[in-house]
């Protein structure tokens, strides 16, 4: 009898509870805030305002989206400023 290669969804969670999560950066929000996803169970974490890792709840996703927007507009402005000052 052939073994099926399709693993049930429970296995990655079991793997993580046995060996621990394997988080990889899935998104850079700012220089200090990043979002992480576990390779095995897809659990998501993010850096909170204290610099600690916390579960990526919809609330944190919202906060990160705002942070990202602020961060991007600030770096955009900085870039433009540098270009202008190098021209002058």
Which of 16, 63 has the CB closer to Zn ion? 16
CB of 76 to Zn ion, least distance (A): 35
Confirm or reject binding of residue 38 to Zn ion (CB under 5 A). Answer: yes
Kindly determine how many residues on this chain lie close enough to bind Zn ion according to the rule CB under 5 A.
6
**Centroid of chain to Cα 38:** 10
Which of 41, 67 has the CB closer to Zn ion? 41
Q: Residue 37: name the closest of 12, 56, 59, 15 by CA.
A: 56
For 24, the token pair is 């990889």
Confirm or reject binding of residue 21 to Zn ion (CB under 5 A). Answer: yes
Confirm or reject binding of residue 45 to Zn ion (CB under 5 A). Answer: no
Q: Which of 33, 36, 37, 41 binds Zn ion (CB under 5 A)?
A: 41
Q: List strands edge to edge, sheet with 23-28.
A: 23-28, 34-38, 44-47, 53-55
The 3-state DSSP class for residue 47 equals strand
CB of 72 to Zn ion, least distance (A): 29
């Amino acid at each position: 009898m052939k073994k099926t290669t399709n693993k049930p969804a429970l296995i990655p969670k079991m793997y993580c509870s046995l060996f621990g999560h394997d988080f990889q950066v899935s998104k850079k929000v700012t220089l200090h805030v990043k979002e992480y996803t576990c390779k095995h169970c897809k659990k998501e974490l993010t850096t909170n305002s204290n610099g600690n890792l916390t579960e990526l709840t919809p609330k944190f996703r919202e906060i990160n989206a705002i942070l990202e927007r602020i961060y991007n507009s600030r770096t955009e402005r900085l870039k433009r400023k540098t270009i202008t000052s190098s021209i002058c």
